[in-house]
Amino acid sequence: MQNIAMRSVLHFCAAATLASTAVSPAAGDSVGGRQSTRQQASENTMQQHPYVGMWVTDDGRVRHQLLPNGRYDEARGNRESAYRGRYEVVGSHIEYWDDTGFTADGDFVDGNTLHHGGMVLRRK
């Protein structure tokens, strides 16, 4: 009888341990295609910053589309979507992470001017 009681206790402990490590659908990780809480918060912040939109060099050759979801799409000359990746704005500073691993940064000098990689881009 003692073996049966001990097994029941062990089964209960194992079930409690498994239950405490289970991930609910409301949990914030990217399980089954769901976004993490941190990524959702970052995307909400990106949607709220004042720099979302199109930024273009004076000659129109380089065009950065800063999307509200924290992604960007850069066109160069006739090459649409020459570079794509994610970006993050902190204050007036922007960091870019290209999907291929290239990184870059820039600074918004005012609400309509972005200095990036030796270029001046203006809001369109």
Q: What would the pLDDT profile of 22-51 be if each residue is shown by its tens digit?
A: 333 333 333 444 444 444 444 454 557 899
Q: Which long-range contacts does 112-117 make (Cβ < 8 Å, 24+ apart)?
A: 114/51, 114/55, 114/64, 116/64
CA distance 78 to 30: 36
Summarize the confidence of residues 8-18 as an average pLDDT: 39
Mark residue 32 as left, alpha or beta (left: phi above 0; alpha: psi -120 to 50; beta: remaining): left
pTM assigned to the model: 0.63
One-letter identity of residue 80: E
Residue 112 has pLDDT above 70, yes or no: yes
Q: How far, in whole angstroms, is CA 59 from its chain's centroid? A: 30
Give the pLDDT confidence of 96-111 residue by residue, as tens digits: 999 999 999 999 999 9
